[in-house]
A and B are shown apart, each in its own frame.
Chain A
Amino acid sequence: MAAITLDNVGKTYAGGTRALSGMSIDIAPGEFVVLVGPSGCGKSTLLRMIAGLETVTEGTIRIGERVVNTVEPADRNIAMVFQNYALYPHMTVRQNLAYGLKNRGTPRDEIDRRVAEAAQILEIGPYLDRKPRQLSGGQRQRVAMGRAIVREPAAFLFDEPLSNLDAKLRVTMRSEIRQLQRRLGTTSVYVTHDQVEAMTLADRLVVLNAGRIEQIGTPLQVYRHPATTFVAGFIGAPAMNLLPAQIADGQLHLAGAAVAPMTRAGGPVTLGIRPEDLRRDPAGPIRMRLRHVEELGHARLLHGQIGDSAAVCTVTDTAPPDPEIRLSIDPGQCHLFDAQTGARLTGA
């Protein structure tokens, strides 16, 4: 278990692609940090730089006390779980697990002991003598985990390890990974583009966008106080509504109607409001023209338009919706962002 410290890390690929800049993250020993962001934002690049599979073009990466910028992957004492598992297809499960230990000259009986232990933890004992192609996706996933834990490394690195599994298995494996990490206490960096996975797994989230850090914080901090409109729209499902609004005369104006008292300097702002915080209220000041309804069973999503902007509202009542719905909001649930920069306005 070791701390991982990124200090102003950047990456420019040989072809000139600027993948990352100004990454500074302090990961405490034993912490589970999730890197989350849309496709192409540089999550894998950052993880691979920590693993030593990509060169670091700027800044420093430390694992424990040691700067590892030029250290070979083998000598960083990390284990990585790949998206496609990267199991060695010509070796049995047992040989897959033992490979890394054997390369490091671990004594035979120690290898056997650790493989048996990992097999027991992950319940892959019955498959030890099978080849990877004779396993199901979920079993392969466990073997990939097993290969990481037998090494007893200083840190686990995961690159979208669950994205090849079906939705149900993904939920099970997610909680298993979390429990396993708690039990072993190994520092973990986990990459995903799935915000639900990120919220449920992380001690701390790092939200990335276009090669930059948008926000670092616990899942609740990020959910409750998104630092930018990007984070606000990315974390939470269905996504937060982001609507152009005005502050004037101590009121927040949305689509021409005063919707909530607001004591701050006037001017244009972006109002962020979660779909569940848009309340149906016959006397409410907000009018939403209904476009279509999505039935979720426990709730419904009403898709419509407020002024010129698309908006979504979650309701739990089953009353048939009118073509125009009246809504109201609670000032405490409004997130205000700078209309130009998208940065969160403090005190909101």
Chain B
Amino acid sequence: MKRTIFGNQLLPWLLLAPQLAITAVFFLWPAGQAVWQSFLRQDAFGLKTSFVGLTNYAALLGDAKYLNAVQVTVVFSIAVAALSMGVALMLALAVDRGLRGARAYTTLLVWPYAVAPAVAGVMWWFLFNPTIGILPYALRAVGYDWNHGLQPRDAMTLVVIAASWKQISYNFLFFVAGLQAIPGSLREAAAIDGAGPARRFATITFPLLSPTTFFLLVVNVVYTMFDTFAVIHATTQGGPMQSTTILVYKVFDDGFLGLNLGASGAQSVVLMGIVIVLTVVQFRFIERRVEY
């Protein structure tokens, strides 16, 4: 490794300062605030603040709405990961099999990733709008009365589709790269060994793709848990009846709208813990890869 010797002891710190300042102001300080607030309780008028220890955390466990948000998050994460990875894998397999026009198709598939989540959310809001949207109109024609403003199931479907849509691009690129890393001769050997296309996929391609799949699973779960706020905010705003209120959305709901900073702080500390665990899992994975 190349080492640079600084004559001045201060210079390296000065060079690092902007980055450190940004980290401190926008991450460490708010994080510290959240941790501190999670131990406090404010009275209804915001006049008095008292230290209450772990009471806010204990309250979370007894809060039916919080437990509902946990459940919503689990369903949402699994659904988004399954949908976006499943669709992306199918598209990647099509490209890998030498589909005609694969280049154009790959370029088109990458575009959604460039669209801001909030914009995507608004787009889906229009498409699915019960009064002016084209999709509910089409669904009514086949006898389904779509209304994500009233129907929890419709609302969940909407946010899952809206959140998966752009993630498909990302997963697709990784799956294509993963497939291309598998030597063609392995699949040829399997073909000679009497395995048809389905069996070849199940016994050769899919197991060899497992490092990519596992990596994407972690990335997608992190994405759905923490990065889909804008999508939900632009479409369902957590409703109806909390049916699409995921943990991150609840932090916002309780803290900014409900002004219950203690509860909101405790929730964000829990989320921080989850991020840390997932990050560790991912780093361990990058170091070691998945064994096959």
Contact = CB atoms under 8 A, between A and B. Distances in A.
Interface stretch (B46-54, B193-201, B232-240): B193-201
B23 to A, nearest CB: 41
B193 A99 contact: yes
A88 B31 CA distance: 48
A90 interface: yes
Nearest to A133: B292
A52 B192 CA distance: 8
A73 B191 contact: yes
A74 B192 contact: yes
A218 B195 CA distance: 37
B32 interface: no
B199 A82 contact: no
Contact of B186 (A74, A78, A86, A151): A86
A119 B274 CA distance: 49
Nearest to A104: B194
Interface string A73-103: 1100011101110101110000000011001
B192 A73 contact: yes
Residue with the highest number of chain A CB atoms closer than 10 Å, among B183, B186, B192, B207: B192
Nearest to A82: B185
Nearest to B292: A90
The range of chain A's interface size is: 20 to 34
Contacts of A51: 188, 192
Chain B interface category by residue count:
10 to 19
Contacts of A86: 183, 185-186, 188-189
Given A74-B194, A103-B194, A82 B292 contact: no
A104 B195 CA distance: 8
A83 B194 CA distance: 20
A100 B188 contact: no
A72 interface: yes
Contacts of A84: 183, 185
Q: Give the interface centre of B185, B193, B196, B207 by most chain A CB atoms within 10 Å.
A: B193
Contacts of A89: 186, 208, 292
Interface in A150-196: 151
A175 to B, nearest CB: 25
A186 B34 CA distance: 75
Nearest to A51: B192
Contact of B192 (A80, A83, A88): A80
B188 to A, nearest CB: 5
A135 interface: no
Contacts of B190: 88, 99
B204 interface: yes
Interface string A223-244: 0000000000000000000000
A103 B195 contact: yes
A53 interface: yes
A74 B208 contact: no
B194 A53 contact: no
Contacts of A90: 207-208, 292
Contact of B189 (A52, A72, A80, A104): A80
A293 B186 CA distance: 46
A341 B185 CA distance: 39
Interface in B52-98: none
Given A82-B185, A103-B199, A88 B191 contact: no
Contact of B195 (A74, A78, A79, A147): A74
Contacts of B186: 86, 88-89
Contacts of B185: 82-84, 86
Interface in B94-150: none
Contacts of B204: 88
A181 B196 CA distance: 29
A53 B193 contact: no
Interface in B156-202: 183, 185-186, 188-196, 199
A136 B196 CA distance: 30
Contacts of A151: 193
A74 B191 contact: yes
B292 A100 contact: no
Given A89-B208, A104-B194, A73 B292 contact: no
B199 A79 contact: no
Nearest to A53: B188
Contacts of A80: 188-189, 192
Interface string A96-140: 000110011000000000000000000000000000000000000
Given A53-B192, A73-B191, A89-B292, 10 more contacts: A51-B188, A53-B191, A74-B194, A74-B196, A80-B188, A80-B189, A86-B183, A86-B189, A99-B195, A99-B203
Interface of B: 183, 185-186, 188-196, 199, 203-204, 207-208, 292
Interface of A: 51-53, 72-74, 78-80, 82-84, 86, 88-90, 99-100, 103-104, 147, 151
30 contacts: A51-B188, A52-B192, A53-B191, A72-B191, A73-B188, A73-B192, A74-B191, A74-B193, A74-B194, A74-B195, A74-B196, A80-B188, A80-B189, A80-B192, A82-B185, A82-B189, A86-B183, A86-B186, A86-B188, A86-B189, A88-B204, A89-B186, A89-B292, A90-B292, A99-B190, A99-B193, A100-B194, A103-B193, A103-B194, A147-B189
Q: Which 10 A-B pairs have the closest CB atoms?
A: A100-B193, A90-B292, A103-B194, A86-B185, A86-B189, A74-B194, A73-B192, A82-B185, A90-B207, A73-B191
